[in-house]
Every structure is written in structure tokens, then in C-alpha cells.
Structure 1
């Protein structure tokens, strides 16, 4: 780019088109364009930029738009205004620009051939995980579990809370480093509005905010599980929890599941810790019966065991009556309770919490400090407002109704188009665990379905044994697919089954 900033010598309209962030206002895009040109060195210090009138004409925008953009860039030190001369790239930008015209760099030193694989003490990439295509949102039939649905996101309510969190008083609360603490407003909201609905009563000192439930599981595993620890895992069960625990111990005991959840068995008594998803078992969606909950708690007391309760999707009971948390029945402090705040409507927010005895929570906070200090305090404050103003539970009630409608459509569509597939009736949650015919390989089905724009989750990854012979289950999520696309998507899946597996 020439060093002159005139409209004739610089293709400003072409540069403007390259600023493809259409979430920005016109003024924001102009500022981004100029800042990029300045910092990249294409507009050196002292270079004149077009008058606001010239630039407005070149870009086809109102002159006030360019005037305000220039004014803001002057305030931020990128431009300087010279009386009766116009605007120039500020001389103070010297030394802050990329060396775009520097001499070619010398030949890079030869690679030393470091064997990083041999240095690793852990190979997380080799673990078995749920895999979703990177472009799943652009596909027509995303039966992906626990994914974002833009149509259901409470944009106005969340924006209100974010703006309120930017008040002067709120900024003074969240801007300082909290070190190992949390936003007291969010802890209070969890204690007074979230936990009581699950029958749980806890003190502030027993609650800690995490970057989602998975972060809480990692903290617990790091503190409590060592090489010889025996951990009981639901089988099929949550792969990420299994992988977290497998990083700490090789003694993972698979525990079978039926329509009432975790099955009582002698293997339970051998476990130091038992990971359980009682409200909506992952992935079968079964609810642990009250009889089994009581028996599990009695077993933990008798054997000095600890139960790790992941209580996700608990609010999504279509009958409006969520089952009581295992923690609510705990009389002896045997349950570590983990919950998610953001999974239901915006998993990208990554907010969760853990309820544990104060003695353990002190150590959990100290460990979290070593990792991240604390989750972003601004996000905590915004979410505290979201809960306290009633938006959170209003959203959960609405989602429960939406999911109930989608579940009904999904079940009817599968019965109509895939009669050889079956699953237990859906009473809550946002997914359906479905069993196909005996000769079906759902890993191959998922690959073939993807080519038809249908995203499904094959079930083998949920089993602890990678050689599991269970090759006919799939999990169909319906949190991110429009109700009107469900039947069409199942028909497309049926077509794949017909063409490739019959």
C-alpha cells in the first residue's frame, strides 16, 4: 500500500469490505479497518488519512459515521488532528507497528527433532471422546446433544444483565482480582435460588463456582484420586468423566444401568468413589429410583465411600416435578454435588459449581487458584443478575416445554420412519437413547448420515470397554434442531439406513 492516505492511492472500499465482522456497526468497521492498516505498518506514522468527507464518499456511508470514527481514534491515540490540515497517523505509533518492510529474516535454525511424544506423561488426545463435526451448525439436521439453539437464547434478557454488570458499582465489584474467591452475588443466587429447587441447603463456604461441571470433575479427581483409588462408573456413562478419572487411576469399575438407573451390585461396595448421574443418566436418560438412591447412600456410609453426583439437566422434567437430588437425601456428607449453570441454553458460557464440605472446598479453591484463579468475575456478576431477576428459571421452564414438544415429534418420527428402532419413552432431558436392529453398526451409520446432513452420536463411545459389542445404540439430541426439521431429519436418516444397511 502506498504511504499516502488519499482516497485515490488507497483502495479504501476494498479494505472496508475485508472487515467482515458484520456484528460491528459501520463506525466500528471503519475503526477496525484503520487500526489494522496502522498496526500492520501499511499506514506509517505521519501519514495523512482522507478527510472524513472523502472517506465517507469512498465507502458510501454518512459523513457523521467517519467523523465519529476519527474522533474515537484520536482519543485512543491512533490518529492526531492538525488544525486546518486534517488527520494523520499519530507519531506515537512509531515502534508499535509490525515490521512489514523489514529485511527478510535469516534462514530458520534447523529443527532439533524433539521427541515430544516421549516426553509426555499423559496422552489425552488418544482418549475416546464424543466427536461432533466442526460445521454441525450449518448442517440441516443436527441431532447433537447439549448444543446451542440461537432461537431459544434469551438475547434481550442476557444483554440486560451484561449491561447492568457494567454499572460503576458493579465494575468495582468484579474488576479486582478475586484470587481464590467468587462473586458473592452469584454464590448467593446459587444458594438461595438454584439449590433449594433441588432440595439442597448449603452455606456460602460450601459452594464454589467452576468453568462448567467438567472443570469441577477435574478438580475433584486431582485432589482425591490416586493410582490405587477404585472409581465406579456408570456403563454406559459420561465419556469425559471417564477420561478424567482414567487420567488419575486405572481402577475404573463399570457399573451396569437399566431403566431405573444404576443397578445395585456387589461391585458397588468395592468402590472408593462412585460417579452417578441420577436425574438424567448419561446417555440413557434413566432416572435413578428413590429406592436405589437410599440404598446407594446407605452403602456409602457403610463402606466409607463417596458419591460424586453430576446433576445435569435436572430441571428438564416435562411433568414439572424434578426428582430430588441425591445430595438432598445425604445425611452424612457423602455426596459431592456438581451442577451446570450454562449447559441448558449456552454451553459456551462455561459456568458450573460444586457443593462440598467446607474442609474439602478450601482445598478445591486453592487448587483452582493454581489453575485459573477464578472464573471471569464479570461473567459471574452477569449470571448472578440473570438468576436474581428471574430470567434463569423462566428460561428453564420455557426450554422444558420446548423440549417436551420436540421429544414428542422425535418419538413419532422414529416410530413412523424407523420402526425397527426403539427407545424408552422420554420424560425429560434433551436427548433420546435409541436402539437399532442387531445387525446395525452405528459408527458406520453416523458417517453415512453425515453425508446426508444428519448429525447423530453413535453409542459405542459411552461404554468403558473400547471393544464393546454394543454397536446399535445412538443418542439423538434435540436441543439444537428446530421442531419443524425433526421429522424431515429422521426421514433422511431412514433413507440412509435403507440405502446402506438393508
Structure 2
């Protein structure tokens, strides 16, 4: 009866004990094992699976502890009949509940939507981008085995008895005190400012922080200044709240500070490495923006992603470090530079705003995973975050130099925006070259690139691409750029 559940064979690249347990649980829940006969003897079963007898014994013991099996002296392990009866009763109840008349027609879900987020323009990447040999994708990272190992150790520590009280219960609307303390002592001083615990809120990533701020401060007709080109998700978040979007054009020094800011209630900026161009806002522009905020009475939302990734010269202090009037709401990411999938970020803002953000967060999801918060606190306290950033900065610096050199060598007709760091290159294509056509030709050659048109709110020449280089190996960059040049030649030939 168990054969179908162990076909295909076990994957010896994964933990065998876990695989055997998963498949046995699946068989039990499917009713494939008789409750009147014992499970196969450990020795024979282990031989059939090609594993040690001890591995099977541990699985049986664990399933008995969890209530799936019952050990019977000198006879072996049997299915727990009470558990089977409970499952059968659930199935019977589910069948007996189906007494409603047949529905007369389909439900019109679309007619009930207040808004349709799926219609927004978004960045689209191939889901299988990892399968392509030259992934110039933005927002992804290459694996760092050292950091993975150390993160695993921190999760193990967080799960220990010593730390369990910090995450076992519902925190309701508070944050892990150790993580808040680590942000205050380790993260913020490097950005040039300090904060009190009541000025900090932990979020499920920096984007969630932005959503919370927009929910609190934006409504129909709220005028919001956004960078052009700019971060697509920020534009969509503000737009979904009914905001009136006012573009603020970007050049090599960051956002232009001028009369277009007048009348704005909020202005969203990415000063460390602007999205998508990666340029760094100059000190002059930072001070001018703060002065304009005071003069025109608006708040600034500072998204400080990639603050640490400066390869030329010293990095600038955060915009928040010059804020003496409490007009800057600072957003930071804890996970993006390390593990983007972890989703942890924070907001630093005046206590009055943090209090309302906290209340709004409670209605959405109460708080981010307390276990993840404690693990990140340990990761920071033990110095692993800083060590990871140093390794990544060294690696990304080599990639940055390599990709700029190769663009100059084989793509002389293209114009990269010069930056002092970051993890992507913003590339202007020759006039008349369609970015989507280039994307398709490049993908056919195994090169993944991101068209740039989606980053513009206003109609613009669709001849930009963004080349992220964090996820591609440094030795693959030259060949990837050569193939991109081949794709560009093919598109120009077709035109």
C-alpha cells in the first residue's frame, strides 16, 4: 500500500528523515494504511528505501509522539485508530453538509471590486529567471553560503528555551525589544541619526512600510510627489489610495527641487540609490529638499534601500539625519540586502505617526513574525549582518566595475547612467530601439533584462533597460553583455 507514496524514490540531496515522514503522513491521511496491520518493520522498510534502520525508527517515534501512530509492544507501530475515526467523521460531516440547492449562475466577482490592482502596470520578470544563465534581474541576490549558515544558527538560537518567551505569545501590536534595540544601536548610527524606541515600527519589508504610510496619510486627491522615472510599486501604492501623483524629474544628482513640489502633501524619494537609475542624491539637493519641505509644508518619505552599497567615495548620511523639523519618515530594509524573501523592514518617524502606523498594522496582521524578529536581532547582535554587507559590498563592487567595463567594450552606442554604487545599471538604448523587443531577443539567448518604460508615469521613449547584477556570477557578466549586444544587433536589423 505504501509503494505509490514512495515513488519517485527519495531524494538523497534532502534530509531523508523528513522526506520519509512527509510521505508516511500523506499515506495516513489518504487512508492507505490499514489500522489492523502494523507498519513495515524498520529493518525491512529501511532496506527497501535504501536508508539506515535508525532513520526509519526515528520517523516512527516522531509520528507516535505526534499522535499518528501507536506503538504496541512486540508487534510494532499501528495507525492511531482514534485519529482515523476523527478524520472519517470530518469527511462524513463535509459530505452531509452538501445539501444546498445547485447554484443558478456564476458570481460576478469583478462587479464587486472597489479597485482592480491587477490592472496596474508592474515590473514583470520570468518566474524561472534562475533557469537562465545570464540573469540581469534587479532585487534578487546570489546565495551567500556563509550568511545562510549563520542565519540558520540564529534561527536555531531564537528557537531555544532562552529566547522562546520572546516569540511564543501574541505580541498584539508591539515589536521585539531586542530587534528595536539593535536597529537603534547598529543600523541608525551608520545612517547618521538616532531614534527612540517609540519612533520605530517593524514591518514586513520596506514596501509594507510604504503601504502603511500611504494608508495613513493618503486619500482621494492627496497630492504626492514621486520621482520620474521612479519606483513602480510606490507609484501604484499611492495611486491605489486615490492620490494625485505629481512627477518630479530625476537627473544625475537625484530629484530636482523646484516649483513642482508646491502643493504636495507627501514627497517620496530614494536618495541613497535612486530607483531605477541608482544615482545618489547630492548633498545640495538633500538640503534643498528639506528646505522646500519646510517652505511648502510637506512630509518626505525617504526609502533608504541600498544605503550601504556605495563603491566610490564615502556614503552620504540619510536625509533623516538632517531633519530637525520632524518632516522625514525614514524607511529601511533589514532583509533586502541579505535575504529578500525574509521580508523585514522598519519605519523611523515621529511618535505621533508611529503610534497610528502601529494601530493600522494591528488591523492588518498585528505584527511581523516574532520568531523572525528575534532571529534577525541575534543576526545583528552577533555581527553577521555587518559581515554580510562587507562581503556583498566587495563582491558587488567587482560586478559593478565589470559590467560598466563590458558595456563600454561591446555596447558603445548605449549610455549607462553613471553612479557611485548600487546593484543595477540604468542603460539608455540607441534611438529607435524598442526595449521590449530587445528583452525578447535577449531572453532567447538566455539573458534576462528588465525594460525601463514601466518606471515612467508620463509617456517616454521606450528605450531604457535596467541591468541588475546582484544575482549573476561575476564571471558570467562579460558573456552576458556580449549576448545582449548580439540581441541589440538583431533588433536593429529587424527594424
TM-score range (shorter-chain normalised) is: over 0.9
The answer (yes or no) to whether the contact 1:448–1:496 under 8 Å persists in 2 is: yes
Instruction: Name the stretch that deviates more: 119-128 or 102-111.
Output: 102-111
Rounded Cα–Cα distance in structure 2 between residues aligned with 1:251 and 1:153: 46
> What SS does the corresponding residue of 1:150 show, helix, strand or coil?
coil
The answer (yes or no) to whether the contact 1:278–1:326 under 8 Å persists in 2 is: yes
Q: Figure out how many residues of one structure are paired with residues of the other and give that number.
A: 490
Q: CA deviation at 1:97?
A: 3.9
Q: 1:39/1:362 Cα in 2 relative to 1: closer, same or farther (>3 Å)?
A: same
Q: Tell me whether 1:84 sits opposite 2:74 in the alignment.
A: yes
Within the candidate set 32, 41, 46, 2:36 is matched to 46
> What SS does the corresponding residue of 1:280 show, helix, strand or coil?
coil
In the other structure, the counterpart of 2:303 is 310
Instruction: Name the stretch that deviates more: 90-99 or 329-338.
Output: 90-99
In the other structure, the counterpart of 1:273 is 266
Within the candidate set 347, 357, 362, 1:354 is matched to 347
In the other structure, the counterpart of 2:84 is 94
The answer (yes or no) to whether the contact 1:19–1:33 under 8 Å persists in 2 is: no
> What SS does the corresponding residue of 1:173 show, helix, strand or coil?
coil
Q: 1:242/1:170 Cα in 2 relative to 1: closer, same or farther (>3 Å)?
A: same
Q: Tell me whether 1:443 sits opposite 2:436 in the alignment.
A: yes
Q: 1:108/1:16 Cα in 2 relative to 1: closer, same or farther (>3 Å)?
A: farther
> What SS does the corresponding residue of 1:309 show, helix, strand or coil?
strand
The answer (yes or no) to whether the contact 2:293–2:327 under 8 Å persists in 1 is: yes
CA RMSD of aligned residues (A): 2.1
Rounded Cα–Cα distance in structure 2 between residues aligned with 1:261 and 1:20: 54
Instruction: Name the stretch that deviates more: 442-451 or 401-410.
Output: 442-451
TM-score, length of structure 1 as denominator length: 0.93
In the other structure, the counterpart of 2:400 is 407
Q: 1:320/1:288 Cα in 2 relative to 1: closer, same or farther (>3 Å)?
A: closer
Q: CA deviation at 1:153?
A: 6.0
The answer (yes or no) to whether the contact 1:19–1:29 under 8 Å persists in 2 is: no
The answer (yes or no) to whether the contact 1:39–1:96 under 8 Å persists in 2 is: no
Q: CA deviation at 1:501?
A: 2.2
In the other structure, the counterpart of 2:426 is 433
- Give matches, 1:29-68, under 5 Å: 29-68=19-58
In the other structure, the counterpart of 1:5 is none
Rounded Cα–Cα distance in structure 1 between residues aligned with 2:70 and 2:145: 45
The answer (yes or no) to whether the contact 2:441–2:490 under 8 Å persists in 1 is: no
Q: CA deviation at 1:107?
A: 11
The answer (yes or no) to whether the contact 2:167–2:371 under 8 Å persists in 1 is: yes
In the other structure, the counterpart of 2:112 is 119
Alpha-carbon displacement from aligned partner over 1:76-125 (angstroms, at most 9, x marks no partner): 22111222222211112223447999899999934622221111001100
The answer (yes or no) to whether the contact 1:153–1:345 under 8 Å persists in 2 is: no
Rounded Cα–Cα distance in structure 2 between residues aligned with 1:480 and 1:360: 36
The answer (yes or no) to whether the contact 1:459–1:471 under 8 Å persists in 2 is: yes
Alpha-carbon displacement from aligned partner over 1:219-262 (angstroms, at most 9, x marks no partner): 11111111121000000000000000001124100111111011
TM-score, length of structure 2 as denominator length: 0.95
In the other structure, the counterpart of 2:141 is 148
Rounded Cα–Cα distance in structure 1 between residues aligned with 2:280 and 2:91: 65
Alpha-carbon displacement from aligned partner over 1:248-296 (angstroms, at most 9, x marks no partner): 1241001111110111221112211100111111111111111111111
> What SS does the corresponding residue of 1:270 show, helix, strand or coil?
coil
Within the candidate set 125, 128, 132, 1:135 is matched to 128
In the other structure, the counterpart of 2:466 is 475
- Give matches, 1:456-467, under 5 Å: 456-465=449-458
